[in-house]
Amino acid sequence: MNQFGFNFDNTYEKLPNHFYHKSGATHVDFPAVVAFNEKLAEHLGLNAEALQSDDGKKIFAGNEMPEGASGISQAYAGHQFGNLSMLGDGRAVLIGEQIAPDGDRYDIQLKGSGRTMFSRSGDGRAPIAPMLREYIISEAMHALDIPTTRSLAVLTTGEGVTREDTLPGGILTRVAESHLRVGTFEYAVRAEGEDNAKILADYAISRHYPELEPLPAEEKYLQFLNHVIDRQAALISKWMLVGFIHGVMNSDNMTISGETIDYGPCAFMDDYDPATVFSSIDINGRYAYQNQPGIGQWNLARFAETLLTLFSDDKDTAVSKAQDALSRFGKLYESHWLSGMREKLGIIEVSSDDEALITELLDMMAEAGSDYTQTFRLMSLGKVEETSVAETDGFKQWNEKWQQKLETQSSSVEDAYELMKSVNPAVIPRNHLVEKALNEAMHYGDYSHFTDLNAVLSRPFDDSHDAVYKNPPEETEVVHQTFCGT
């Protein structure tokens, strides 16, 4: 093991070489680390002190590769807004698979590190702002206990990146259980032939679902599909429960591990509106908040298509098995979402009228334009009268039904409120606060708000934070669009 603590075991390179291309990062002359995740480094078994030295900076810049590193860009495809494209890591290099002290395996990737063979006409670089956005949002998601890729470091390159304007460049060091995507399987089958589905499926099973390896072949691959469906149903329900909108749910942005990946034009809702869209490129609302479960199932159908030959030699039988598996998604998602909504309202004992009660509240919140996060947090604190939804017609009757439900449970009302406080965050990455942090860093080199915001978001259920982090934006602060940064 080297001075930095890297303990690489790079299994992806054992796959056929059409799944990746050997790549190195493009050298930068003036790198500077502006964010470093010491707790994550320690979890990975890395030497945080060494990584914050000048030699560590060279690694985050891609100027030097640590001992045992690899340096590959992965090939993948993806349905982007419904249309299939051949893609790949056009601005990212996977430097290795780190084996952490607990035995878990993590990809470590440099994002924004320069051109690769998949860059097409792109420069392979990234402006600093979207790299900082990914750091903020991914670490906030982790604090909310939502499966996600993580951010180890952000570095400025000291070089300009040309988009509409010339912007400061940045590189993110991203950590993931793997970067295997639905789009990786689409590439394997569409570009390299159906035989590659088995090679990639066996690798993914070994890495993420080893308990399936002893099963007979046809059962093993069908259960592989079912496991990915299970994880994605749970993941998307968690997004919906906190008001998170991914923004670009293309099939290349859906992982086999069930982690949230690629924080481009993502955002958290302020006012509750199921039709909310933030992404500047989603002009038809394909990836609106309310559409995320359906898009998740659509992406999983594309995944199932790549595995059909592994389910049965008979095409009709294979299709039938895939359809049966996919038909589970809706009920799985609803079960996860309903369970989560019960917790948000302190409902511990299940009854048949719970869903109607929840739907009634959400309808009133939409009518009132209630802030999604603040409404549930105030309810958790017994301050429902301070919410805007309390002013809607019918709320008094609804509140009486809700209070009666809490009072007739076998557990105490106090227990119900404690449950609510444990799942309804006091703070989220408010869009206007994120934009402020990014603008100050990008235009003025001031990272103080970025640092403060990350510290606050690491304790999302703490009510002691300053009101500026808890309150919805003023009318003049509302962010209506977010941007990819590619």
So which residues are the catalytic ones? 252
**Upper half-sphere CA count for residue 304 (Cβ side, 13 Å):** 26
**Angle (nearest 5°) at CA 282 between 276 and 284:** 80
> What is the rounded distance in angstroms from the CA atom of residue 142 to the CA atom of residue 425?
13
> Counting every residue, how long is the chain?
486
β-strands 166-176, 150-162 pairing:
antiparallel
Residue 108 φ/ψ, nearest 5 degrees: -120, 120
> What is the rounded distance in angstroms from the CA atom of residue 237 to the CA atom of residue 353?
20
**Upper half-sphere CA count for residue 216 (Cβ side, 13 Å):** 4
β-strands 20-22, 244-245 pairing:
unpaired
> What is the rounded distance in angstroms from the CA atom of residue 367 to the CA atom of residue 210?
48
Residue pair 172/131 in contact by the 8 Å Cβ criterion: yes
Among 229, 14, 144, smallest CA distance to 462 is for 144
461 secondary structure, DSSP code: T
Cβ neighbours of residue 144 closer than 8 Å, sequence gap 6 or more:
238, 242, 425, 428, 460
Question: Which tokens is 375 given?
Answer: 């409404």
Residue 22 φ/ψ, nearest 5 degrees: -65, 130
> What is the rounded distance in angstroms from the CA atom of residue 294 to the CA atom of residue 286?
10
Amino acid identity for residue 288 in this structure: A
CA trace torsion 97, 99, 100, 104 (10° rounding): 90
Question: Which tokens is 120 given?
Answer: 């097409």
Amino acid identity for residue 300 in this structure: L
